[in-house]
Amino acid sequence: MVHVSWDPGLIAFFFLIALLVASLAIHMSTSGNSLSRTRLLAATAVLSMDMVIMHYVGMAAIIGHGAIVWNQGLVALSVIIAVLASGIGLRLVFSPPRNMRQTLLNRLAASLMVALAISAMHYTGMSAATFSHHNPPLPTGLSQVELAVYVAGITLVTREGGRCHVSCEATGS
């Protein structure tokens, strides 16, 4: 069994950052009378990078005996998915309303698009990761202090044993 945990401090910090950045993307989209191309592109960049950062920081927060090797092509694809789906979702939700029904349909479609963006980006990003397991380090043996104590002890025992042997021969015992 492989024990894996996450760094709670890193997760909490980037959760707060993600909330602030997502709020910034929404603010960028809603400020002004209409959603200009420039604001749409800026908000798309901010929202999609927020998704990507949340995912990959979450992956970096993994604590375990192993390493993650990334397939760079799939990482790039996950970023492209986040950008395209975020842009489409923002465009749908903030398009000028024609009527109430169209507005509700756009919001529903935008919600689905952003959910798709998050899911597709996440699963593509997860498939980009290969986890290599490293066994926990084995004990390296004796420490320097332990080795010195054992050598000194064995030396004293051997030396005293030799003295006893010499003195026993001299006394005839």
Q: Tell me what pLDDT residue 170 has.
A: 57
Compare 113 and 136 and report the one with higher pLDDT.
Answer: 113
Domain count within the chain: 2
The pLDDT of residue 77 is above 90: yes
Which conformational region is residue 68 in: left (phi greater than 0), alpha (psi within -120 to 50 degrees), or beta? Answer: beta
Round to whole Å and give the CA distance between 20 and 56.
17
**Partners of 130 in the beta sheet?**
69
pLDDT category of residue 169 using cuts at 50, 70 and 90: low
Tell me the residue range of the domain where 148 lies.
140-173
157 with 88, same domain: the answer is no
127 with 62, same domain: the answer is yes
97 with 167, same domain: the answer is no
- The answer to whether the beta carbons of residues 30 and 69 sit under 8 Å apart is no
How many angstroms separate the most distant Cα atoms in the chain?
A: 119
Both structure tokens of 134: 């490293």
37 with 122, same domain: the answer is yes
pLDDT average, residue stretch 8-31: 85
pLDDT average, residue stretch 16-31: 85
Low-confidence winner among 4-8, 35-39, 138-142 (lowest mean pLDDT): 138-142
147 with 68, same domain: the answer is no
Query: Closest by alpha carbon to 40, among 96, 103, 90, 115?
Result: 90
Q: Tell me what pLDDT residue 62 has.
A: 82
Q: Is the pTM of this model over 0.75?
A: no
116 with 166, same domain: the answer is no
123 with 149, same domain: the answer is no
72 with 156, same domain: the answer is no
- For 55-64, the pLDDT digits (tens) are 888 888 887 7
The pLDDT of residue 5 is above 90: no
114 with 144, same domain: the answer is no
- For 99-129, the pLDDT digits (tens) are 888 888 888 888 888 888 889 999 999 999 9
